[in-house]
């Protein structure tokens, strides 16, 4: 294996030049994990290409050598999607960061995959537009990573996930070909298949994104409640009233404490929960609905409501929320960011159960969530210097996912399955479901070299999967699917 990698390193050096190939162990190790530090593997080789042609050549070289490869953008993923292979190549897009085109008449921008999410908005804002997907990591995560994870953000309640804002992707297929997937393609929506595939179906090398017009008015308020339950009631009341806020975010006492320590956001003291509600759109609508939201929050028991008077105050309200994950470092040596989805109506019930889990196990859980669409981010805190603490935290973290599935939700809302949650997939899907997904994957990557070991619990070679089955596919047999 070492020989194969050495040959590959030489080949890549010829393709990219020595400055773009990393092969000494000390440097390689700095790439051993993404934002999920509990999974680590030092890559066999790291390459930093600058063009699609280079990536295609690398992918072909890997294919010929039978070496697995993994794409990496900014390495902020929270499910270990960019976890390298010790026997493989890590293809980093951090040097592919040119914004190629801002096409205002057609409301689109074309960017290289390593372009930072927020930089798209920065480039479009002077024209009155922005890139709507806004993960909390937007200041650093790459658009390529967003596509792979189908990332969401606080504002996807109203504007949708990354998938809703991608018009076309140029991809390097696992065969090493450069292909274009577009929303306008007739036939199967292959672009739809590709977005959210967590780097397992190919590497995107150019992305055309939709730009959204900046809203005429944005109004933001912060409402403080003494309990999470009351905050949840307010959320339900707002949605029930037919208001679609741009964002409704909730934080509990522990996450407020961390954010306060990190960025001194000055949230109301003694709050058991805060709700950040943002409305945007035409002046008249926003004004009307904003009054409605204020009233509903009060009725649900808000003891303090702060309305952001200007952009600075709005930024401060958001700063607390956006730094919440990373701020956990202030109150705990280590933590697991969980990501699950529940129907909004089960919010109170599920939070109560999480609280009970936390009490029983003595493991602290802080809660931050996109309350509008039921996307929970429980943060399970532990001290990694205490033996067994991580295992206990992981048990609690897993139990929270069970709660989500039990309530008809999902094991991931936006952070992806990656390496971390592959083992939870069977809690949501039957073997047959998983096999069906594998069939799709094999259509793209028959050799199984493109980000293997992610998403699916048991990495199987494509040949082994559906081919061995005798008789019709169970879905076909059940009349749920057709083969054509």
Partner 1 sequence: MTRPDELPEPPEPGTETVPEVPSAVSMDDLLSDCVHCGFCLPTCPTYVLWGEEMDSPRGRIHLMQQHREGAPLGDAMVRHFDACLGCMACVTACPSGVQYDKLIEVTRAEVEAEHPRTWTERAVRGAIFSLFPYPRRLRALRGPLRAYQRSGVPALVRRSGILERLSPTLAAMERLAPPSQKAPSLPERVAARGGRRATVGMLTGCVQREFFPGVNAATARVLAMEGCDVLIPKRQGCCGALSLHSGRAGEARAFARRTVETFEGVDVIVVNSAGCGSAMKEYETLLADDPAWAARARALAEKTRDLAEFLVELGPRAERHPLPVTVAYHDACHLAHAQGVRSQPRALLAGIPELTVKEIADPEVCCGSAGTYNLLQPVAAAELGDRKAANVAATRADLLVAANPGCSLQIAQALERQGAPLPVAHTAQVLDASLRGHPAATLLAR
Ligand X SMILES: Cc1cc2nc3c(=O)[nH]c(=O)nc-3n(C[C@H](O)[C@H](O)[C@H](O)COP(=O)(O)OP(=O)(O)OC[C@H]3O[C@@H](n4cnc5c(N)ncnc54)[C@H](O)[C@@H]3O)c2cc1C
Contacting range for partner 1; rule: CB under 8 A; set: 286-294, 328-336, 404-412, 470-478: 328-336
Residue closest to 75 by CA, chosen among 94, 56, 55, 60: 94
Nearest to 196 by CA among 149, 156, 153: 149
Q: How far is the CB of 253 from ligand X (least distance, A)?
A: 20
Q: What distance in Å separates the CA atoms of residue 258 and residue 330, rounded to the nearest whole number?
A: 6
Give the HSE-up count for residue 259: Cα atoms under 13 Å, Cβ half-sphere.
Answer: 28
User: Quick check: 202 and 208 in contact, CB under 8 A?
Assistant: no
Binding flag, residue 261, ligand SF4 (CB under 6 A): no
Residue-wise DSSP of 64-84: HHT--EEEESSS--SSSTT--
Taking CB under 6 A as the rule, does residue 174 contact ligand X?
A: no
Interaction of residue 149 with ligand X, rule CB under 6 A? yes
Instruction: Of 101, 24, 20, give the one whose Cα is nearest residue 57.
Output: 20
Listed in sequence order, the DSSP H helices in 17-163 are 25-29, 52-65, 117-124, 143-149, 156-159
Q: Minimal CA–CA distance to 211: which of 300, 348, 108?
A: 108
Binding mask of the shown chain, residues 289 to 328, with x at each position contacting ligand SF4 by CB under 6 A: -------------------------------------x--
Q: Is 116 a binder of partner 1 (CB under 8 A)?
A: yes
Choosing from 236, 285, 323, 410, the residue that interacts with partner 1 (CB under 8 A) is 323
Pick 178 or 261: Cβ nearer ligand SF4: 261
151 contact choice in ligand SF4, ligand X, partner 1, none (CB below 5 to 8 Å, kind-dependent): ligand X
* 121 is a contact residue toward ligand X (CB under 6 A): no
Q: Candidates 43, 44, 49, 73: give the one binding ligand X (CB under 6 A).
A: 73
State the pairing for strand pair 166-172/99-103.
unpaired
Q: Which of 18, 66, 128, 329 touches partner 1 (CB under 8 A)?
A: 329
Q: Do the beta carbons of residue 426 and residue 402 sit within 8 Å?
A: no
Is residue 335 within 8 A of residue 258, CB to CB? The reply is: no
Distance CA 191, CA 179 (A): 11
Token duo for residue 291: 């009054």
According to CB under 6 A, which residues from 442 to 481 bind ligand X? 451
179 binding partner 1? (CB under 8 A): no
Query: x-or-dash pattern for ligand SF4, window 328-367, by CB under 6 A?
Result: -x--------------------------------------
Pick one of partner 1, ligand X, ligand SF4, none as the site partner of residue 135 (Cβ within 5 to 8 A by kind).
ligand X
Neighbours of 279 (CB within 10 A): 26
Name the minimum Å distance from CB 360 to partner 1.
26
97 part of the interface to partner 1, by CB under 8 A: yes
Contact call for residue 71 and ligand X (CB under 6 A): yes
Q: Per rule CB under 8 A, is residue 95 in the interface with partner 1?
A: yes
CB atoms within 10 A of CB 205: 25
Interface region with ligand X, contact rule CB under 6 A, candidates 146-154, 215-223, 244-252, 466-474: 146-154
Task: Please give the residue ranges that form the binding site for ligand SF4 (CB under 6 A).
Answer: 326, 329
Task: Please give the residue ranges that form the binding site for ligand X (CB under 6 A).
Answer: 34-35, 70-78, 81-82, 93, 113, 135-137, 141-142, 144-146, 148-149, 151-153, 198-199, 203-204, 325-326, 414-415, 451
């Amino acid at each position: 294996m070492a020989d194969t990698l050495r040959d590959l390193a030489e080949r890549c050096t010829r393709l990219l030049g020595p400055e773009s190939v990393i092969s000494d162990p000390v440097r390689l190790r700095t790439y051993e994990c993404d934002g999920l530090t509990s999974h680590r593997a030092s890559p066999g080789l790291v390459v930093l290409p600058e063009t699609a042609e280079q990536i295609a050549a690398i992918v072909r070289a890997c294919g010929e050598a039978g070496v697995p490869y993994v794409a990496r953008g900014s390495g902020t993923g929270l499910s270990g999607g960019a976890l390298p292979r010790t026997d493989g190549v890590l293809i980093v897009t951090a040097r592919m960061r040119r914004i190629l085109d801002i096409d205002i008449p057609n409301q689109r921008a074309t960017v290289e995959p390593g372009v930072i999410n927020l930089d798209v908005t920065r480039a479009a804002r002077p024209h009155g537009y922005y890139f709507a997907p806004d993960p909390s990591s937007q200041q650093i995560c790459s658009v390529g990573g967003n596509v792979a994870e189908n990332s969401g953000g606080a504002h996807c309640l109203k504007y949708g996930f990354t998938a809703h804002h991608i018009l076309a992707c140029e991809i390097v297929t696992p065969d090493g070909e450069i292909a274009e997937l577009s929303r306008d393609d007739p036939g199967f929506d292959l672009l739809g298949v590709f977005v959210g595939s967590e780097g397992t179906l190919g590497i995107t090398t150019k992305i055309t994104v939709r730009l959204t017009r900046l809203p005429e008015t944005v109004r933001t308020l912060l409402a403080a409640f003494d309990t999470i339950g009351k905050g949840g009631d307010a959320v339900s009341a707002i949605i029930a009233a037919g208001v679609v806020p741009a964002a409704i975010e909730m934080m509990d006492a522990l996450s407020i404490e961390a954010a306060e320590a990190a960025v001194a956001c000055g949230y109301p003291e003694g709050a058991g929960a805060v709700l950040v509600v943002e409305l945007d759109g035409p002046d008249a609508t926003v004004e009307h609905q904003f009054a409605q939201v204020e009233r509903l929050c009060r009725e649900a028991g808000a003891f303090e409501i702060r309305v952001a008077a200007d952009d600075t105050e709005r930024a401060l309200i958001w700063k607390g929320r956006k730094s919440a994950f990373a701020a956990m470092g202030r109150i705990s040596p280590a933590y697991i960011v969980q990501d699950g989805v529940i129907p909004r109506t089960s919010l109170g019930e599920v939070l109560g159960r999480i609280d009970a889990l936390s009490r029983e196990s003595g493991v602290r859980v802080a809660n931050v969530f996109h309350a509008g669409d039921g996307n929970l981010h429980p943060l399970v805190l532990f001290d990694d210097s205490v033996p067994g603490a991580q295992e206990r935290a992981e048990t609690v973290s897993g139990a929270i996912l069970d709660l989500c599935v039990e309530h008809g939700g999902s094991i991931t809302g936006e952070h992806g399955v990656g390496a971390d949650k592959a083992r939870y997939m069977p809690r949501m899907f039957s073997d047959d479901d998983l096999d069906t997904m594998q069939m799709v994957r094999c259509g793209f990557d028959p050799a199984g070299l493109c980000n293997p070991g992610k998403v699916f619990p048991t990495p199987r070679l494509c040949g082994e999967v559906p081919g061995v089955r005798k008789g019709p596919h169970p879905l076909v047999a059940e009349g749920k699917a057709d083969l054509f």
